[in-house]
């Protein structure tokens, strides 16, 4: 990927911030290589959205993955609380030259709540509801020969991408306690990630990308982009692993 495009993908999440009752958890990208391999990740972003992820390879091609994402923040005009979990099953395979391809399908759910306030800090509106999602995702990565050299130490770099298509539904949706019609939206999330090996199986990961919504509505918007910085650990990886 050319440098200008990579920089654009990193900056896009910083340019969006409209309120939405959904904050997307980062797509998981374990990039498993063999049976018995474990992947774990802990990440956060500028919105104090924390994500805990894990994956395990049951065979040389089949794996399970899970994500828990939590966002609790208070601003002058609103308070937002979103907790969301996902689980998926996937197929992975090693290609030539250290490349890895993964395909996952899964579902998730959680709860969202927002309190809106006026300038006098009085609550003007309360919105809450349950979220349900199904998704399909494809991951691709290749270990590069390039390294990052800092203070005479070389840190191997890995670049990859993930494409996720999701259908999300907001149900049992209430405004000030009054039940509202359910709302749905389809989202497409293209993301890229870069990993730098720190020591042993521990890596630093930067994940960035956009979320694109196919239906316009006031509450499930494609407003919060994916931007996560975190630590990754891979245990039991093969020689072609990362």
Distance of CA 121 to the CA centre of its chain: 32
3-state secondary structure of 202: strand
**How high is the pLDDT of residue 2?**
46
DSSP annotation string for 204-229 = EEEEEE--EESS--SSS-S-S-EEEE
Q: Tell me how far CA of residue 107 lies from CA of 56, 61, 131, 177, in angstroms.
A: 17, 20, 11, 27
Q: For the chain, which residues make up each domain, given as ranges?
A: 3-232
- pTM of structure: 0.84
pLDDT string in tens for the chain (242-residue length): 444 444 444 444 433 445 789 998 999 999 999 999 999 999 998 888 899 999 999 999 999 999 999 999 988 889 999 999 999 999 999 887 778 999 999 999 999 999 999 888 888 999 999 999 999 999 999 765 566 565 566 667 788 999 999 999 999 999 999 999 999 999 999 999 998 888 888 999 999 998 999 988 889 988 777 889 999 998 887 654 44
**How high is the pLDDT of residue 225?**
76
**How high is the pLDDT of residue 149?**
61
Q: Tell me how far CA of residue 205 lies from CA of 192, 196, 202, in angstroms.
A: 10, 7, 10
Q: Are 225 and 28 in contact (CB under 8 A)?
A: no
Structure-token pair, residue 176? 């000030």
**How high is the pLDDT of residue 4?**
43
Distance of CA 170 to the CA centre of its chain: 19
- For the segment(s) 3-232, the CATH number from 3.30.70, 1.10.3470, 2.40.128, 2.130.10 is 2.40.128
**Cα 210 from Cα 153, distance rounded (Å):** 33
Q: 188: which residues sit within 8 A by CB, 6+ positions away?
A: 163, 164, 165, 166, 211, 212, 214
**How high is the pLDDT of residue 200?**
82
Q: Tell me how far CA of residue 161 lies from CA of 51, 195, 206, 207, 237, in angstroms.
A: 18, 11, 12, 9, 19
**How high is the pLDDT of residue 48?**
84
Q: Where are the alpha helices (DSSP H) in 70-198?
A: none
In 154-175, which positions are buried (b, 16+ CB within 10 angstroms) versus exposed (e)? eeebbbbbbebebebbbeebee
Q: Among all chains, which residue has been given the structure tokens 């050319």? A: 2
**How high is the pLDDT of residue 16?**
40
């Amino acid at each position: 990927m050319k440098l200008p495009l990579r920089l654009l993908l990193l900056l896009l999440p910083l340019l969006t911030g409209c309120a939405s009752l959904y904050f997307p958890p980062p797509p998981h990208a374990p990039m498993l290589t063999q049976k018995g391999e474990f992947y774990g990740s802990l990440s956060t972003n500028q919105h104090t959205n924390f994500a805990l992820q894990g994956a395990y390879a049951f065979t040389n091609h089949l794996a399970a993955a899970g994500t828990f994402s939590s966002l609790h923040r208070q601003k002058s005009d609103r308070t937002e609380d979103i907790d969301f979990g996902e689980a998926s099953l996937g197929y992975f395979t090693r290609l030539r030259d250290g490349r890895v391809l993964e395909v996952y399908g899964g579902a998730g759910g959680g709860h969202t709540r927002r309190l809106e306030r006026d300038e006098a800090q009085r609550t003007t509106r309360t919105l809450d509801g349950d979220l349900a999602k199904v998704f399909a995702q494809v991951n691709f990565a290749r270990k590069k020969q390039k390294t990052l050299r800092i203070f005479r130490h070389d840190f191997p770099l890995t670049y990859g991408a993930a494409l996720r298509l999701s259908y999300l539904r907001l149900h049992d949706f209430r405004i000030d306690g009054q039940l509202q019609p359910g709302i749905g939206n389809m989202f497409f999330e293209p993301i890229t990630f870069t990993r730098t090996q720190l020591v042993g199986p521990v890596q630093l990961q930067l994940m960035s990308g956009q979320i694109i919504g196919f239906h316009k509505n006031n509450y499930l918007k494609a407003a919060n982009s994916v931007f996560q910085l975190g630590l990754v650990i891979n245990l039991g990886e093969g020689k072609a692993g990362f």
